[in-house]
Homo-oligomer: A and B are copies of this chain.
Amino acid sequence: MTTEVLPGARALLEGAKTASRALARASAQLRDEALAAIAASLASHSPQIVAANSEDLARGAAEGMAEGLQDRLRLTPERIAALSEAVTQIRALPEPVGDVVRGMTLPNGLQVSQIRVPFGVVGAIYEARPNVTIDIAALALKSGNAVVLRGGSAAQSSNEVLVSLMQEALTSVGLPPAAITSVDEFGREGAQAMMKGRGLIDVLIPRGSASLIETVVQESSVPVIETGSGVVHIFVDDTANLENAVEIIHNAKVQRPSVCNAVETVLIHRAIANAVLPVVAERLQASGVMIHGDEAVCAIVSGAVPATEWDWGREYLSLDVSMGVVDSLDQALEHIARYSTHHTEAILTGNMDHAERFLKEVDSASVIVNASTRFTDGGEFGFGAEVGISTQKLHARGPMGLPELTSTKWVVRGQGQVRA
């Protein structure tokens, strides 16, 4: 632990650590009561939340925030109701703490079990997404963890209201409000204190832009779970069902372009390029999508602009898509290996050998056959909500729910055994 961090921020982290011990001792029932109080408070304070969020949105618009980011920042009454409902769903999920993961009795009679325990303090650093404030705090509480949030200046008013409502809810059931805190008041120094908070923060989850995640990965001495950035590919094989392909590509790009599981690059087998491209392009362009194509795509699709090297590695988060024509599954696999951020990739095919090769050889958190990439999502997978989508291989990969917010402990019960 360096001593360079602000004393105030360090004191806040120490408060979170102390609160985490109280949470670990608290019954699951009490933590569920806190979650119920949070869900109720969100529902009944919708106008106040929208008002605070409007301040953030107005500031963002004035500062020229991109539309995709504004969409992520926006809290409407409908979205607040959905957040409240998500908290209720999380409350109803099975309690993860105390689960026995493995157990055995050794030949010498020792009883050994590996049980789930809370991490302690979970840190989250994210940007302009106030829904993450609620999702992560609720999942942390359900899994017995305290949480320290750095929600960023762009969402500061929204997050201030949300954290304060959650702290009131904790207090109302007799849990320490320090179990859900924010370092936003310390600005960037708050994030620094978290990254250097080894021993006070047990795991740090960055969620947001590639540069934010890179900074946290490089600077943190606290263990990090890397999340999020998704240069997501769909490969349309020559045996794909054309009708499905059009709908899946449209859904993956247009249904919510600002999120990490939206498709950014579509690769199409040359044998069906002439048949598929015009139909896909028409459907996408009708929804306002700009197509950045390679030479073959631009020759077929009117209105496409040439894709540059920059486009292939780009997470647009907007109504843009890069499209290329490939000669084979192998060429598609090579392109994906080169540009993928290892989040989600899909193959649309009728050839089961190709499907199996794609599933085995693509090194991504989620690999999909004949469905939209938008399904890589904790909610869709039934987790109630998600902490983020891990693109690293350590501890958690893909959508993270409750079990991913716990650690384990080995419990050994003996009757005097010694080692021979």
Contact = CB atoms under 8 A, between A and B. Distances in A.
A391 B243 CA distance: 52
Contacts of A397: 407-410
Contact of A418 (B112, B241, B372, B410): B372
Nearest to A118: B393
Interface in A344-376: 355, 359-361, 363-372, 374-376
Interface in A86-115: 104, 106, 110, 112, 114
A248 interface: yes
Majority SS of interface residues in chain A? mixed
A106 B366 CA distance: 15
B225 A367 contact: no
Contacts of A366: 409-410, 412
B394 A223 contact: yes
| Count of chain copies | 2
B106 A418 contact: no
Contacts of A395: 394-395
A302 to B, nearest CB: 26
Interface string A118-154: 0110000000000000000000000000000000000
A218 interface: yes
A371 B417 contact: yes
A413 B370 CA distance: 7
A259 to B, nearest CB: 11
Contact of A414 (B202, B369, B393): B369
Interface of A: 24-25, 104, 106, 110, 112, 114, 119-120, 198, 202-203, 217-218, 221, 223-226, 241, 243-244, 247-248, 250-252, 255, 355, 359-361, 363-372, 374-376, 380-382, 392-395, 397-399, 407-419
* Closest 9 pairs (CB-CB, A-B): A371-B414, A251-B418, A393-B407, A244-B416, A395-B395, A374-B419, A223-B394, A366-B410, A371-B417
Given A112-B381, A223-B224, A367-B410, 4 more contacts: A24-B360, A202-B393, A223-B394, A398-B408
